[in-house]
């Protein structure tokens, strides 16, 4: 969400930014919100003048009454009443204009970073760097659910009977592997100085609209019927929401938190064969990282966050690459975003396993997260990134560690979390 003053003073830049995001249908909103802002400010100015006049007239009434000039005092009282009615009308106009403004401002996209490549959709994202050597073994790698089934590690049929499509039972060593990855990711981030947190798994609507765009909300969030609560789609939502309406002392920044949570998503639309199984599901678990920091520090933290994910996957011998998200692939609140993709030996290509985002002051403006600095108060910057999100991460893990005899190798870093096992059979 942009500052209305910025929009008022830089309408052409805001429109150009909208064009870069290929959202030309939003161009008229810029002029509309500027017009509403002018009406609001005009009403505010007139209302302030009436309030000043009311104070002066009130003093005049008192003086006239002391002088015994009742008729003149009554005439001034009548004027005060008329001014009060007009003031009420102006305040209503102001409130109406402000409400319309806020609705429009919520859908005008954040200004993207100048370094973001311009492109219409994710097909135009730009590869940055590859880490590790992608390997295609000389034996066939089954689909990930087939690998899991050989370990009696998954039951999709039972989950379908209990909850429908998009759910799963993980069993035995596969379930243990799932938990081991989460625990390892937790300790990995703690070792990097992040504070561990288990947040609420439901949030109120004012937090939802503070952390994400309306389009994301509609496509992702499950609402609790009859209550002002939503199931989180990622713990970033409640982690950033933790700071709603807070004024953080500057000396306490940065806030670096890593959180565990289940995640719930509608995942609307039809998906291809590669997104079946446990790739795109309604319920999963995730280790997340978030940062609340000073504006000048957010580019540095952006690079640190995605590097954490790369380092974690490489510590488990999984080749990855990073992709810079193009302008058309950025959600409206994001200033800059980078995806981490893991190598799939079966598909012979990379697929997304994490996404790192710098949201500038967009979430802070919506949630009123301010910093008390030496020169006054200002809005914080917020960032988030996936540490690891099994079971999707399990796909990359199983494919890259599958051996010719059907066993799965356990990398050294994960062995303590698997009871010392070096492989599962």
pLDDT digits (tens, 9 = 90+) for 12-42: 999 999 999 999 999 999 999 999 999 999 8
pLDDT at position 296:
97
Domain 122-424: CATH superfamily is: Bira Bifunctional Protein; Domain 2 (3.30.930.10)
Say if domain 4-105 classifies as CATH 1.10.287.40: yes
pLDDT digits (tens, 9 = 90+) for 205-255: 999 999 987 777 777 889 999 999 999 999 999 999 999 999 999 999 999
**Dihedral Cα 121, 122, 124, 129, nearest 10 deg:** 150
pLDDT < 70 positions in the chain = 54-68, 70-71, 73-74, 76-77, 79-80, 268-276
Q: What is the pLDDT, as a whole number, of residue 370?
A: 98
3-state secondary structure 256-299: EEEEEEEEECCCCCCCCHHHCCCCCCCEEEEEEEEEEECHHHHH
Q: How far is residue 121 CA from its own chain's centroid?
A: 19
- Give pLDDT, residue 70: 67
| Pairing mode, strands 336-344 and 222-223 | unpaired
Three-state SS for the chain is CCCHHHHHHCHHHHHHHHHHCCCHHHHHHHHHHHHHHHHHHHHHHHHHHHHHHHHHHHHHHHHHHHCCCHHHHHHHHHHHHHHHHHHHHHHHHHHHHHHHHHHHHCCCCCCCCCCCCCCCCHHHCEEEEEECCCCCCCCCCCCHHHHHHHCCCEEHHHHHHHCCCCCCEECHHHHHHHHHHHHHHHHHHHHCCCEEECCCCEECHHHHHHHCCHHHHHHHCEECCCCCCEECCCHHHHHHHCCCCCEEEHHHCCEEEEEEEEEECCCCCCCCHHHCCCCCCCEEEEEEEEEEECHHHHHHHHHHHHHHHHHHHHHCCCCEEEEECCHHHCCCCCCEEEEEEEEECCCCEEEEEEEEEECCCHHHHHHCCEEEECCEEEECEEEEEEEECCCHHHHHHHHHHECCCCCEECCHHHHHHHCCCCEEC
Per-residue pLDDT, 272: 44
Q: How many CA atoms lie within 13 A of 229 on its CB side?
A: 8
User: What ranges do the domains of the chain cover?
Assistant: 4-105, 122-424
Q: Give CA–CA dist 121/293, Å, rounded.
A: 29
At residue 273, the pLDDT reads 41
Q: What is the pLDDT of residue 180?
A: 97
Please state, in angstroms and as integers, the Cα–Cα distance from residue 203 to each residue in 70, 237, 250, 341, following that order. 59, 8, 26, 29
The predicted pLDDT at position 90 comes to: 82
């Amino acid at each position: 969400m942009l500052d209305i003053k910025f929009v008022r003073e830089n309408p052409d830049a805001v429109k150009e930014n909208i064009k870069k995001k290929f959202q030309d249908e939003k161009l008229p909103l810029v002029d509309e919100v500027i017009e509403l802002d002018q009406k609001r400010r005009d009403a505010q100015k007139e209302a302030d003048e009436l309030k000043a006049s009311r104070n002066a007239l009130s003093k005049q009434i008192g003086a006239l009454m002391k002088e015994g000039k009742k008729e003149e005092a009554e005439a001034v009282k009548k004027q005060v009443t008329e001014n009060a009615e007009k003031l009420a009308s102006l305040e209503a106009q102001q409130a109406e204009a402000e409400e319309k403004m806020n609705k429009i401002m919520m859908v005008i996209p954040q200004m993207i970073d100048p370094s973001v490549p311009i492109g219409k959709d994710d097909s135009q994202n730009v590869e940055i760097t590859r880490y590790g050597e992608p390997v295609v073994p000389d034996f066939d790698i089954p689909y990930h659910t087939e690998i899991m089934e050989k370990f009696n590690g998954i039951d999709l049929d039972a989950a379908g009977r209990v909850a429908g499509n998009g759910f799963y039972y993980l069993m035995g060593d596969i379930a243990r592997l799932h938990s081991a990855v989460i625990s390892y990711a937790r300790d990995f981030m703690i070792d990097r100085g992040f504070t561990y947190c288990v947040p609420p798994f439901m949030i109120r609507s004012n937090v939802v609209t503070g952390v994400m765009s309306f389009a994301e909300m509609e496509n992702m969030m499950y609402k609790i019927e009859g209550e002002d609560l939503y199931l989180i789609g990622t713990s970033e939502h409640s982690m950033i929401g933790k700071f709603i309406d807070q004024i953080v002392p500057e000396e306490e920044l940065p806030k670096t938190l890593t959180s565990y949570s289940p995640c719930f998503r509608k995942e609307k639309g039809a998906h291809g064969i590669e997104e079946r199984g446990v790739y795109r599901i309604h319920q999963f678990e995730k280790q997340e990282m978030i940062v609340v920091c000073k504006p000048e520090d957010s580019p540095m933290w952006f690079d640190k966050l995605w590097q954490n994910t790369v380092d974690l996957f490489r510590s488990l011998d999984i080749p990855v690459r990073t992709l810079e998200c193009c302008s058309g692939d950025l959600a409206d609140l994001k200033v800059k975003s980078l995806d981490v993709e893991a190598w799939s030996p079966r598909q012979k290509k990379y697929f997304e396993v994490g996404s790192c985002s710098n949201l500038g002051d967009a979430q802070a403006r919506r949630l009123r997260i301010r910093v008390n600095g030496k020169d006054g108060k200002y809005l914080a910057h917020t960032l988030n990134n996936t540490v690891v999100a099994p079971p999707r991460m399990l796909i990359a893990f199983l494919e890259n560690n599958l051996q010719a005899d059907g066993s799965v190798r356990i990398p050294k870093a994960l062995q303590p979390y698997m009871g010392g096992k070096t492989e599962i059979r």
